[in-house]
Every structure is written in structure tokens, then in C-alpha cells.
Chain A
Amino acid sequence: MKYIDEFRRSDLAQGLVSQIQHRSRTPVRFMEFCGGHTVTIFRYGIRQLLPPNIEMVSGPGCPVCVTSNADLDKAIALAKIPQAIIATFGDMLKVPGSRSSLQQAKADGADVRMVYSALDAIKMARENQDRPVVFLGIGFETTAPTIAASILQAQQQGIKNYYVISMLKLCPPVIRAILDSGEIKLDGLVCPGHVSVITGSTAWQFIAKDYGIPCVVSGFEPVDILQCVAMLVEQVESERCEVEIAYRRGVQPQGNKEALKLMRQVFQPATASWRGVGEVPGSGLRIRDDYRQFDAERAFAIEPGETYEPKGCICGEVLRGVKTPLDCKLFGKACTPQYPVGPCMVSSEGSCAAYYNYARDADG
């Protein structure tokens, strides 16, 4: 597969590992913000290849993991609306809310359907005109424009039974909140690759400028991550602090103007609740009044019930990079991929799932 296989080449990976080992002297802690990067790092055993002075820590860039129990409970409550079809990305099905999960709701009789794209949800709306189709809008800036486009398309086609519940979130405000908390000291940030496709690399300028942390935007193949780490190491060793793009085939400084335009046309910033971080102003997206007829929260009165957080679950601290899954008392015992307590274990790119599946002990 073009533009995938080349960036998995062993010779290129080894070359970068060599360069990193030669150049890296200073003990550093780099955070990869994005859950997709966490998956690549674990799937390809990247941590093992890095010298011991480089510590990698995972951040909260997993839109499923950071969806609060309160929001999940809302989604589950929507599933109970008579005749409603809930369309959702696969990632959300098994995540436990306060009492239940979407998969559980499905087993109890709700019509919950997995889709790959918002376009599939629109198709369902067209084919079931007498039933409300509610699409769960989860994701960051990569996904938000696609959902904005789906709403505009529904409007264009005169579809009256398509709704979206927006649990969309924006990355820069939450990165700022984490850095402001002072809980964790970082020497470099592996910036999200596909969020940057939309926002452009300029979205991360404030991190270099206000916090003095070098930033490099990375792609998702193992060679991409290694190149990114090599560039962060280079910045640290030459005492520079900038925003650079390693993922040059995908990302430009200015991002995708058309996507940003559509996103801003349909959504406006709002306060959002991030699991483990709490409420962060301007970090969520809410459907604008002009498109209120597509907003599930305005269309339906739902009773999500009281919110409970699972006892002993430290997903919040893991998400902020302050603790690792190995620090959690429940990890591997009460909380496993089969019986997850928190979303970090359920989500395929949550830290805990990654640790459990790939990294318990690879000396076999």
C-alpha cells in the first residue's frame, strides 16, 4: 500500500534509531498526545528501541477515553428513545458509562448500529424516514469537519430525521490546561498528526512560545514516530524550541482551510467536560443555532440519570500522563480488556489497553 509500506521499512527505522542513539544525551520526557500514536508505539515496540534517557509518556488524545461518564450516560439515554436508531463509531460500543454501555443497551433492545462514517448515518436516515437517527459525534478536530459536512449535506438533501449529539472536543485548550496544572514536566511533544492536517501546525505555536516545549507533528507509521523523536532530540540537543513538521506529506502550517470553514460554520466553541481533567472552557464544540434542528440535545428531552465514577479507576491520572497503567490497583486484575472498568482499557487506543495487549513483558 502506497504511503504506508514505505514508512514501515526496517532499514529506515534502524537508521533513525541509530541517529537517535548517537545524538540523544539529555534525559528527556516526551509525550505523545494522540491515542493513535500510542497504538503505533506499542504495536511496533518503539519504546524498546529508544535509549534509556528518553522517557515516553502517553497523553489524553483518545476522544473515547476522555468522554465523560455524564456524556456517555446521555448517549445511552438517547438509545432508549422509542423508535430511535443510534448510529455510532465502533469505538464507543463497549465503553462503560455510570450504569450501562451502548452494547448493553443494544442487548436490552435498543437499535444501536455501528457505522464507519456519518454518511452511513445519513443513509440510514433516508431509508427510515419515520424514525429519528441520532449520530454520536465523538472526535477531535479531525472528525469535527466531517460531522459538520454531514449536517450540511443533510440540510441540502432536506433530511428531517438526522440528528447529531456533539461530544466533539478541541485539543489545544486541553493541552494548555494540562500544562498549566504543572503536574507534569515535558521536554517535547509529539503533536497529533491528523488533527494537524485540519488545524495546521500553527495550532501548536503556543506550546513552544508560552511553555518552551519543542513540538514536532508526527505521522502514524513506526518510521514516522521515530523521525519525530529524532527531530525532538535534535531540538533538545541544539537548544531550540520550535514547531516542526515531520509528517510533511500530510500536514501544512495553515491546515485545511475548507475543513476549518465548514467546522466553524456549523459548530461554535463551548465548555466541555474531559474525563480526568474536568471542565475546560472553549474545548468542546456545540451545534450553532442556525443548525439547531439537527441537534439531538435540543430535539429530545433525555434523562441520563445520576453520574457515577468507578471506584479505584485512575483513568484521569493516566490520561494526564501523571501515572501509568501499571500504577493502577485495578490494572490486570479487576480491570482487563474483557471486563473493563474505565475507558482507557476499553478503547483500542487507550493507554491501559495498549499496555495490557502489547507491553506486559516482551522478553519471550
Chain B
Amino acid sequence: MAKQEDKILLAHGSGGKIAHELVNRVFVTALDNPMLARLDDSAVADFNGRLAFTTDSYVVSPIFFPGGDIGKLAVCGTVNDLSMSGAKPLYLSLALIIEEGLPFRDLERIVASIVKAASKANVVIATGDTKVVNRGSADKLFINTAGIGMVPPGVDISGNNAQPGDRIILSGTIGDHGIAVLSQREGLDFSTKLKSDCAPLNRLVADMLEVCPDIHSLRDPTRGGLATTLNELAQQSQVSIRIEEEAIPVREEVHAACEMLGLDPLYIANEGKLVAIVPAEDADKVLKAMRANPYGRQACIIGEVRTGNPGRVVMQTRIGSSRIVDMLVGDPLPRIC
């Protein structure tokens, strides 16, 4: 048997013997499932009904952060995108672009994380690919996942469907992921027990649909934060949205980090939260179902959909005045002023 290298080399991506060793050593045993084990060029399955299909690429840095890593993020992110259409996630593809020199140990740790996340979300990694690029051509590791799920009959969830009178429900605290990642960045490091909220939300969505098949919209507020997501929904449905600052749950540590760095929690990324827009008469039972789920314990109604000023999001501040909440432009950069 060839000597087990400490670091990933270009040869590991070349398709030859060393590449096969990489696939065997790191992937096949860990991601042990019948589909993948066949090592065919594509996975084949039967479907009966409406398919949901999504893809995303993950380039987060650092690749390990409190509460997760790029692997967990890749699985949860795509599972969540499928869930936001009301789909039951079934299969994921997993494509890795590895920078030459990444330690084997790091790759194994990430694959283990992927396995755990996939199991928790009850999805199968059906097919995969690995490429290795020159040092400097990728930032340690990039991951692309595509996901397929089935949408139950009668379910029609879309950003177009919000109606005046609908209630807006947020599944929990905002800003946890973005601040947890920021706390590790060079030049900003502060210590906190805060962890990323990275989590798969498919079961939460299933619980919600069970009590209310007529959910109008679902979206997960990732990059750009809650503010950007609400603006997208308001624009897509051509309605206006009004929220209350006091109703939005934010952890004290997130508040504190934002104060220190001059950031606004409304614009910070989340990876385990969702926004639901539901008919007013169903709001209470959806809320109850959410709070019974581990990922919705702090769910709350934060506002409502209104007529007038389509695309506009307005917030009632904690001191009783109103102001516009716009979309994020660019990156939220910490400031001194």
C-alpha cells in the first residue's frame, strides 16, 4: 500500500491510482451508502411527483468555526434551500475543490461532519466529485452541493405568495452564525461562547406544514441577514412589510459584538433560521408547532404584511418611531465611527 500522505497533493485529483486512494480512504468508507458505493458516474432513483432542485457553493473562511465547519454548512444550507419550498430533502451531490496542501486530517474531519449532518437531516449523499487545484487557486476548500427533494401535493410555497394581513414568523435568534464566524477573523478576534446556529430545518418545516399546509412563503435569512430576506419577499410579492424591533430575538452576545464593531444584527448571516409568512388565522398554531421543535423554541411573530408601498420594509423602533429597513449593500464591515 502506498505511503499515506499528510497533505492533499495535486495527484490526488488526477484520476489515477493516488486519486482512487483518496476517494477510498476519505469518502467511500465514511459516506457509506449503497448509491455511492456503486461508484457509477451518476446515481439513479425513482421519483413520483414534483421535484425541488437546488444548488449552492460554499466558500466560507475559516473552514472551521465555533458550532460547525464548511461541511456541515454545505449539507444544512442545501437541505434548507429545499425545505424552503416545502420539499422533503432526499439526495445531495457533493463536489469538492481542494487546495493543494490541505492536511488530510482537516479533510477527514470535514467529511465526518458531512456524514453527521446528512444523517441528522436524513438525506443521502448520492454522488460526488473531487478536484485538487494549485496552491492559491482555492482558499483551502470549496464545496458545491446540489439537492433534490419532493414537494408534497397541494403545497405551494413561494416568495410571490405573501398577502396583506399575513403574519411574519421568525424561528429564533438572529446574527449567531455571522458573529461566530467573525469572532475568528484575524484583526477582530474576541472571545465568546457564541456558536453558529447552522442546522437542518427540514423537520421543522414538516412540522409546520402538518398544522398549516397553506404556508405562503418560507425563506432562510443567510447572507444579507433578516433585513435582506424581508426586502426580497416584499419585492417578490409586491407588498409592504412592517416589523417591530422589540419582537426580534437577539442574543446578548450578538448585540454586544455588533455594538463593539458597529454592525447591525439585522444584516448578519444566519444558517439555522427561517422566516415564514402565514395567513393570520394560522399564525398561532404554526407558532405552537415551531416551538415544539428543537430548532424553533424561540419562534415568534415579528410583524405583518400590509398593502401600500410595495417592496418597502418598515420597522417600528424600540422608542416608538418608524424607520425604513433596506437591503444590505456589499459586506457589513466593522467600523470605528
Contact = CB atoms under 8 A, between A and B. Distances in A.
Is chain B in direct contact with chain A in the complex (CB below 8 A)? yes
Interface of A: 1, 4, 8-10, 13-14, 35-36, 42-46, 48-49, 62-64, 87, 89-91, 93-94, 113-116, 120, 138-139, 143, 222-223, 336-338, 347-349, 356-364
B165 interface: no
Contacts of A1: 252, 255-256, 259
Interface string B283-319: 0000000000000000000000010110011100111
Nearest to A5: B255
A156 to B, nearest CB: 22
Interface stretch (B91-99, B102-110, B324-332): B324-332
A359 B324 contact: yes
Interface in B232-279: 240-242, 252, 255-256, 259, 261-262
Given A49-B321, A364-B324, A90 B335 contact: yes
A338 B331 CA distance: 10
A91 B337 CA distance: 8
B317 A348 contact: no
Contacts of B261: 116
A44 B262 contact: no
A362 B333 contact: no
B333 A91 contact: yes
A114 B334 contact: yes
B336 interface: yes
Contacts of A116: 187-188, 261, 334, 336
B324 A35 contact: no
Given A45-B321, A359-B324, A348 B314 contact: no
A114 B337 contact: no
Contacts of A358: 323-324, 326
29 contacts: A9-B319, A10-B320, A14-B320, A43-B317, A43-B323, A44-B317, A45-B319, A45-B321, A89-B335, A90-B336, A91-B333, A114-B333, A115-B187, A115-B188, A116-B188, A116-B336, A138-B336, A336-B329, A338-B329, A348-B333, A348-B335, A348-B337, A357-B324, A359-B323, A362-B323, A363-B322, A364-B309, A364-B314, A364-B322
B186 interface: yes
Given A116-B187, A362-B314, A364-B309, A64 B319 contact: no
Contacts of A93: 333
B320 A13 contact: yes
A356 B325 CA distance: 10
Contact of B308 (A222, A223, A364): A364
Nearest to A140: B337
Interface of B: 186-188, 240-242, 252, 255-256, 259, 261-262, 306, 308-309, 312-314, 317-324, 326, 329-330, 333-337
Given A1-B259, A49-B321, A116-B188, 11 more contacts: A8-B318, A35-B337, A43-B323, A45-B317, A87-B187, A120-B186, A222-B319, A347-B337, A359-B323, A361-B309, A364-B312
Contacts of A143: 336
Interface class of chain B by DSSP: loop
Contacts of B312: 361, 364
A138 B314 CA distance: 34
A77 to B, nearest CB: 22
Contact of A48 (B240, B308, B321): B321
Contacts of A9: 319
A127 to B, nearest CB: 10
Nearest to B240: A364
Greatest chain A CB density within 10 A among B252, B318, B320 is at B320
A227 to B, nearest CB: 12
B332 to A, nearest CB: 9
A120 B324 contact: no
A120 B309 contact: no
Nearest to A222: B319
A166 to B, nearest CB: 15
B322 A45 contact: yes
Nearest to B334: A90
B337 A63 contact: yes
A36 B337 contact: yes
Contacts of A356: 326
Contact of B324 (A46, A89, A337, A360): A360
Contacts of B309: 361, 363-364
A114 B334 CA distance: 9
A88 B186 CA distance: 13
Contact of B337 (A62, A223, A337): A62
Contacts of B334: 90, 114, 116
Nearest to A64: B337
Contacts of A357: 324, 326
Contact of A362 (B252, B255, B319, B322): B322
Question: Which of A10, A63, A87, A90 gathers most chain B CB within 10 Å?
Answer: A90
Contact of B187 (A114, A348, A363): A114
B318 A113 contact: no
Given A43-B323, A44-B323, A357-B324, A10 B337 contact: no
A89 B336 CA distance: 7
Contact of B335 (A44, A49, A91, A222): A91
Contacts of A336: 329
Contacts of A35: 337
Contacts of A364: 240-242, 306, 308-309, 312-314, 322, 324
Nearest to B326: A357
A48 B315 CA distance: 14
Given A347-B337, A348-B262, A362-B314, A113 B321 contact: no
A338 B319 contact: no
Nearest to A44: B317
B69 to A, nearest CB: 23
Contacts of A120: 186-187
A44 B319 contact: yes
Given A114-B187, A348-B262, A364-B312, A46 B333 contact: no
